[in-house]
Chains A and B, each alone.
Chain A
């Protein structure tokens, strides 16, 4: 099939209307066909689980090195030096990925577990000393990652308020240059400069993830030139994503009281709950790839050099793969969701995110008998992320 014969749409997936409520458009995309042409940006869209999964794992045919946003690095200059992880493929991807996988792997995180669980208990205790109603975005979803993650990386105390705006702009910049990107352009250089300055060896403490990255360069596993770029990857991808993932699991429980009761009965479901929330909300909604040759997917030949847009959120609710996909259900096995991606480029920080979420959800489950959402909350629009600007909750202490 060619673009002339595959289904097409003139709807812009990055328009404010779709970003505010992406589910109807995603359902339409999934039902329209295995491959759909997005006329607004002249890219191919995959929204079914089968094709999204196939695209994610096929690094040979669908590269990341030409950018995982709309911008095609084969023809356009990136707005910042490309990531050594997200925007690279083998062989260049190998060494940075190997080093970071070791530092952020489940074995390495064991030493953080007790500390983060204690930190989560303290944060929840502080919160419960206050009013029963609060905005969960600043009070929990932002507060906990910002309390534990920058320390774990080894950042200095100053300027941490720059992390979220930097990540927000970075994730907007994967989309087209629309109003969301324009709104962030003013501070982009300043934020990028601040982040860059945090990545030097001198700026980092001696015992964090950052120092471990620099130590790997001492052993020759990566070059000294690569080390600060890999620290930058941590700071780019490690904050906003986790914040919105935690907001997603809080929103899920606040709107599914029976699931909260089930978690209270079985606190060991905290990990499953987070992954189920990541499946259900998909904090990272979309990523692009670029065809390295004519690639056939879903019966359609994607021409060499074409951009494809993978709808992770749509794949995570594809009824061809999931039973009752719109239900947030702790009885479900969410294994295999693509909210963290899949394959060679799968989120290298997923175990960090899981540990943060597990710590916070466990602390809440021990202290809160029920959670309700107060009103609809307010969405925060981003070209890549599904996020909350405000998520008012009311809790009842256990």
Chain B
């Protein structure tokens, strides 16, 4: 494992009008880092764009990831690149996976999906089903033709309620949310207005009943660097240049500064290093968004630098 994961697109398929799925695998066919429903990865596209996509494949297959990508005309080109340029066989950088939207235990689940917001909910549904929970999916979209994964969802029969707007209008949230139930967890992912409406609808529900992930097309401001950067080791005063083909961990190791590590995938936390100056490019699966923004520590087995220089407490 060197630097962030570089994965090959092994399959690209149309999932609906405006949605393609990408299946990604390691070029050497090895195991990918583990993930759980609700997790997303950073996709670092060959054109330099970085976008986040929920994993919607099968975690019992350790060798592939699947993501669903909606073409967003208003976006800055990341999704257009995936739809128009990316081909099977191409390599993409992948950071993570990270999970800010975990599936918590519940006797019953109400899943509410809007459009491409179905993606994180797909693996959740499978797990709820495996665990024998009582669950319902209400899935809204513009038209049946625009809604991805309907064929996959058919297997679940009457637990799935498909609500294309051109046939039925918007999801009838009061119907689904009228009766607060302490044994039900409500999971919602989709566009902002749907989330706002669900949050309003759950205002009378027990605290922590509702869990949401805002599906915003977050394009990270700074592109991932392909240029080398310098890492200054504050305790020794030495500076090491990190080239794109090598991890920070290995680069400082070659300079004689051993940082204890274990997983080399950004999952275990052993190689945590304090950042004294510079802005890390976080590629780990550990920090939450607030901790990432603080920028005061990084996991040097996978994370890198956004700028020309990082100063580490080594």
The docked-state distance in angstroms from the alpha carbon of A337 to that of B262 is 7
Tell me if B105 and A226 are in contact (CB < 8 A): yes
CB distance from A121 to the nearest CB of B (A): 22
A271 interface residue per 8 A CB criterion: yes
Within 8 Å by CB of B261, from A90, A226, A335, lies A335
Instruction: Count chain B residues whose beta carbon lies closer than 8 angstroms to a beta carbon of A.
Output: 35
- Interface 1/0s, chain B 55-79, versus A by CB < 8 A? 0000111100000000000000000
Tell me if A336 and B258 are in contact (CB < 8 A): no
List of B residues within 8 angstroms of A105 by Cβ: 269, 286
Could you tell me which residues of chain A, from 30 to 48, have a CB within 8 Å of some CB in chain B?
A: none
- Residue of A at shortest CB range from B62? A60
- Residue of A at shortest CB range from B206? A220
Tell me if B59 and A333 are in contact (CB < 8 A): no
List of B residues within 8 angstroms of A336 by Cβ: 261-262, 264
Tell me if A90 and B260 are in contact (CB < 8 A): no
Interface on chain B toward A: helix, strand, loop, or mixed SS? loop
Tell me if A340 and B130 are in contact (CB < 8 A): no
Tell me if A346 and B36 are in contact (CB < 8 A): no
B291 interface residue per 8 A CB criterion: yes
The docked-state distance in angstroms from the alpha carbon of A221 to that of B209 is 10
Q: A57-B31, A220-B185, A342-B263 are in contact. Are A91 and B269 (CB under 8 A)?
A: no
Q: Quick check: which of A92-100, A164-172, A192-200, A309-317 contacts chain B, the rest being far away? A: A92-100
- Residue of B at shortest CB range from A348? B268
- Interface 1/0s, chain B 32-57, versus A by CB < 8 A? 00101100000000000000000000
The docked-state distance in angstroms from the alpha carbon of A320 to that of B165 is 61
- Interface 1/0s, chain A 331-374, versus B by CB < 8 A? 00111110010111010001100000000000000000000000
Could you tell me which residues of chain B, from 69 to 111, have a CB within 8 Å of some CB in chain A?
A: 99, 102-106
Within 8 Å by CB of B105, from A222, A334, A350, lies A222
Tell me if A221 and B104 are in contact (CB < 8 A): yes
- Residue of B at shortest CB range from A216? B104
Within 8 Å by CB of B268, from A58, A59, A333, A346, lies A346
List of B residues within 8 angstroms of A222 by Cβ: 104-105
- Interface 1/0s, chain B 147-170, versus A by CB < 8 A? 000000000000000000000000
A9 interface residue per 8 A CB criterion: no
List of A residues within 8 angstroms of B286 by Cβ: 105
Tell me if B36 and A94 are in contact (CB < 8 A): yes
- In the complex, 25 of the A-B residue pairs with CB atoms within 8 angstroms, ordered by the A residue number, are A58-B62, A59-B34, A60-B62, A91-B36, A91-B127, A91-B130, A92-B131, A95-B102, A98-B36, A105-B286, A106-B272, A107-B297, A220-B106, A221-B102, A272-B260, A333-B258, A333-B260, A334-B260, A335-B270, A336-B264, A342-B263, A344-B34, A350-B270, A351-B269, A351-B270
The 6 closest A-B pairs by CB, nearest first: A220-B208, A91-B127, A335-B261, A94-B36, A106-B272, A223-B105
Which residues of B approach A to under 8 Å, CB–CB? 31, 34, 36-37, 59-62, 99, 102-106, 127, 130-131, 185, 208-209, 253, 258, 260-264, 268-270, 272, 286-287, 291, 297
